[in-house]
């Protein structure tokens, strides 16, 4: 039981680290795009700043690809998190009082069996 909880905790921690890293990567890419947009100060893609039209188009394509990858990874992580949630359901695990009742029934039946054998 403790091992299962530890595994779940490790999986969730890994998911959070992965999500945070992707979020930071996308944030820095968006900041870079915003910086380039402000640096160009022209109304067209690739105007000013010494960058050609192809560099901004390539950057946008790269950002779109990164966004699509992050969205795919997000879907995978959500599915894993849902599986962890389902696996962590403890409603089917017997409570301590239920376990004690079973132990009491076992000890009573053992006592009855022993008394029957001694007759």
SS3 44: coil
**pLDDT of 51:** 54
32 vs 58: CA distance, rounded Å? 13
| Cβ partners under 8 Å of residue 47, min gap 6 | 40, 41
pTM above the 0.75 mark? no
**Model confidence pLDDT, tens digit, residues 17-72:** 888 888 888 888 888 888 777 777 555 544 444 456 667 788 888 888 888 889 99
| Spans of all domains in the chain | 2-88, 95-119
């Amino acid at each position: 039981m403790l091992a299962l909880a530890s595994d779940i905790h490790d999986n969730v921690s890994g998911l959070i680290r992965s999500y945070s890293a992707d979020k930071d990567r996308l944030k820095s890419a968006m900041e870079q795009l915003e910086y380039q947009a402000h640096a160009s100060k022209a109304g067209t893609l690739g105007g000013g700043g010494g960058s050609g039209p192809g560099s901004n188009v390539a950057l946008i394509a790269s950002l779109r690809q990164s966004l699509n990858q992050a969205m795919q990874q997000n879907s995978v992580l959500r599915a894993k998190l849902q599986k962890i949630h389902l696996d962590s359901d403890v409603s089917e695990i017997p409570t301590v009082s239920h376990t004690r009742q079973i132990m009491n029934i076992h000890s009573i039946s053992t006592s009855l069996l022993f008394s029957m054998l001694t007759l």
